[in-house]
């Protein structure tokens, strides 16, 4: 337990805390309101457009305070786009298309796993955002579900809302009155999970975030830096709520909460505002707290109807949580490190598919996770290149060749090496049948050169140095020499 938490009396301070977690979805690799690929690019943009953004009144007829603040900064915004992966929707020159159905289904899965009530009819809304991260000065968002909960070892914690929305443009550079964004990220579908403010301690905040993260990662979501973003809200003594952006580091989260409580204790007259998390856990002012005045309906889209049939369809495809999958993999004989690597490489489903071809879990895990990396390292190939050369289809065909006894298990690495060097699969799996006498002679030489080892030790040496022989054949020959 952190030293700071031992000092803070959260109950006496009337501490309230809630989380907002934003997670990008892997929805057919398409954006939420158009068919552009959800792909981040590093090459030079084909064109740049320039914009000035202005605050507009929301549905209630007033202008949001945060929008007014951003408008007064009087900045110019530049947006980088590509001819083949950016369309007029991102540029706000064309109405949005119908919502991405795959993204909607993933959002519904998440809502059901969080025990939430699905909205049968909902409205896509425009949320005023004029900090430059959206070309139109707003973000499209829609309420999918509400009033759910997640369970941890410390009990149930409420989930207030689940929104499906489009991600913002990606910041490239900032100057005093000029900011440049790239449109590749704008429109990637994401969900926003909003918890109830019923978290009672900084450690509870961490545990709830971990539980929500486990649920999100069980569904089709994007992985890697920038694909998940986390905000935390804190108030004490029934005072104003402060929202802290950029609290992604799960290990730093308790410290961020604790330092914000201490800051609010000292300031007494705490303003409702948005602050930015710093690497040391402290925060700095970012902008005033936005309110309901920034929301107004998206008039270019019809009401979104979520039918009972669609919900029932999604229920049939609910994924298992990571903990359940880990237990199943352990039963199959995989160790913790191999299971961790399967999740890290997002390869659990591939592992299950390959296992249907050949029911040898340890061997499948080695083919999927270990051998390609070893070959890439030896041949000095990038991850992208080895994944291209040893694609999932190629690995599947090699595993099938083992099942049909076209190659032995000991020949798998050699086959993959040949393919990585450019050979076709059909040629790579061709091996000359060695005469039994020649093989026995090689094995006898290995045993004579290193006398006194166990049969298993000789087995390892033989499989490394003698190609074109199965493990069973090798052990039979070793058995003639080692009793």
Do residues 274 and 384 share a domain? no
The residue from 305, 332, 356 where one domain ends is: 305
Task: Determine the structural domain holding residue 450 and report its residue range.
Answer: 436-481
Structure confidence at residue 3 (pLDDT): 44
User: Is residue 105 domain-resident?
Assistant: yes
User: Is residue 452 domain-resident?
Assistant: yes
Structure confidence at residue 132 (pLDDT): 87
Do residues 424 and 463 share a domain? no
User: Is residue 463 domain-resident?
Assistant: yes
Do residues 366 and 301 share a domain? no
Do residues 440 and 424 share a domain? no
Do residues 15 and 101 share a domain? yes
Do residues 245 and 376 share a domain? no
User: Is residue 176 domain-resident?
Assistant: no
User: Is residue 45 domain-resident?
Assistant: no
Residue with tokens 């059909």: 426
Do residues 125 and 210 share a domain? yes
Tell whether the torsion through CA atoms of 264, 266, 271 and 277 is positive or negative. Answer: negative
Across the beta sheet with 47-51, the strand order is: 47-51, 76-81, 178-182, 170-174
User: Is residue 406 domain-resident?
Assistant: yes
User: Is residue 287 domain-resident?
Assistant: yes
Do residues 163 and 243 share a domain? yes
Number of folded domains in the chain?
3
User: Is residue 40 domain-resident?
Assistant: no
- What pTM did the predictor assign? 0.77
Structure confidence at residue 73 (pLDDT): 65
Do residues 257 and 384 share a domain? no
The residue from 246, 271, 305 where one domain ends is: 305
Do residues 210 and 268 share a domain? yes
Do residues 245 and 360 share a domain? no
Do residues 325 and 381 share a domain? yes
Structure confidence at residue 232 (pLDDT): 97
Residue 9: CA count within 13 A, CB half-sphere:
3
pLDDT in tens, the chain (483 residues): 444 444 789 999 999 999 999 999 999 899 999 999 999 999 999 999 998 776 666 666 676 666 566 666 678 899 999 999 999 999 999 999 999 999 999 999 999 999 999 999 999 999 988 788 999 889 999 999 999 999 999 899 999 999 999 999 999 999 888 999 999 999 999 999 999 999 999 999 999 999 999 999 999 999 888 899 999 999 999 999 999 999 989 999 999 999 999 999 999 899 999 999 999 999 999 988 887 777 889 999 999 999 999 999 999 999 988 888 999 999 998 999 999 899 888 889 899 999 999 999 999 999 999 999 999 998 898 988 998 899 999 999 999 999 988 888 888 998 999 999 998 988 888 876 555 567 788 888 888 888 888 888 888 888 887 766 667 778 888 888 776
The residue from 305, 331, 353 where one domain ends is: 305
């Amino acid at each position: 337990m952190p030293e700071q938490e031992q000092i803070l009396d959260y109950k006496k301070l009337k501490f309230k805390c809630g989380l907002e977690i934003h997670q990008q979805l892997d929805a057919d690799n398409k954006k939420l309101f158009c068919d552009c690929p959800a792909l981040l690019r590093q090459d030079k943009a084909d064109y740049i457009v320039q914009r000035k953004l202005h605050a507009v009144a929301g549905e209630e007829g007033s202008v949001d305070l945060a929008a007014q603040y951003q408008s007064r900064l009087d900045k110019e915004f530049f947006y980088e786009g590509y001819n083949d992966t950016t369309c007029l929707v991102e540029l706000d020159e064309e109405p949005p298309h119908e919502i991405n159905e795959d993204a909607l289904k993933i959002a519904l899965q998440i809502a059901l796993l969080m025990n939430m009530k699905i909205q049968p009819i909902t409205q896509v809304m425009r949320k005023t955002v004029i900090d430059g991260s959206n070309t139109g000065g707003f973000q499209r968002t829609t309420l999918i579900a509400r009033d759910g909960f997640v369970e941890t070892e410390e009990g149930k914690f409420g989930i207030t809302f689940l929104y499906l929305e489009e991600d913002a443009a990606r910041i490239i550079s900032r100057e005093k009155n000029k900011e440049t964004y790239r449109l590749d990220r704008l429109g990637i579908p994401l969900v926003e999970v909003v918890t109830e403010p019923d978290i009672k301690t900084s450690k509870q905040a961490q545990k709830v975030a971990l539980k929500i993260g486990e649920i999100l990662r069980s569904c089709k979501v994007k992985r890697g830096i920038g694909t998940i973003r986390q905000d935390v809200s804190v108030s004490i003594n029934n005072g104003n709520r402060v929202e802290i952006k950029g609290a992604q580091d799960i290990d730093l989260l308790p410290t961020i909460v604790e330092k914000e409580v201490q800051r609010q204790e000292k300031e007494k007259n705490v303003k409702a505002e948005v602050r930015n998390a710093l690497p040391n856990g402290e925060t700095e002012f970012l902008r005033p707290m936005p309110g309901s005045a920034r929301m107004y309906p998206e008039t270019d889209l019809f009401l979104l109807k979520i039918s009972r049939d669609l919900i029932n369809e999604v229920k049939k495809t609910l994924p298992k949580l990571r903990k359940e999958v880990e237990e199943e993999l352990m039963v199959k004989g995989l160790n913790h490190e191999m299971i961790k690597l399967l999740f890290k490489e997002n390869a659990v489903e591939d592992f299950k598919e390959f296992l249907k071809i050949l029911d040898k879990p340890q061997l499948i895990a080695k083919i999927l996770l270990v051998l390609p990396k070893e070959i890439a390292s030896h041949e000095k190939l990038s991850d992208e290149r080895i994944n291209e050369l040893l694609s999932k289809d190629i690995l599947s065909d090699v595993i099938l060749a083992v099942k049909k006894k076209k190659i032995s298990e000991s020949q798998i690495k050699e086959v993959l090496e040949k393919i990585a060097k450019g050979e076709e699969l059909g040629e790579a799996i061709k091996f000359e049948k060695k005469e039994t006498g020649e093989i026995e002679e090689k094995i006898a030489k290995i045993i004579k050169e290193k006398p006194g080892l166990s049969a298993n030790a000789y087995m390892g040496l033989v499989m490394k140095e003698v190609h074109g022989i199965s493990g069973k054949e090798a052990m039979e020959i070793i058995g003639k020499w080692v009793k």
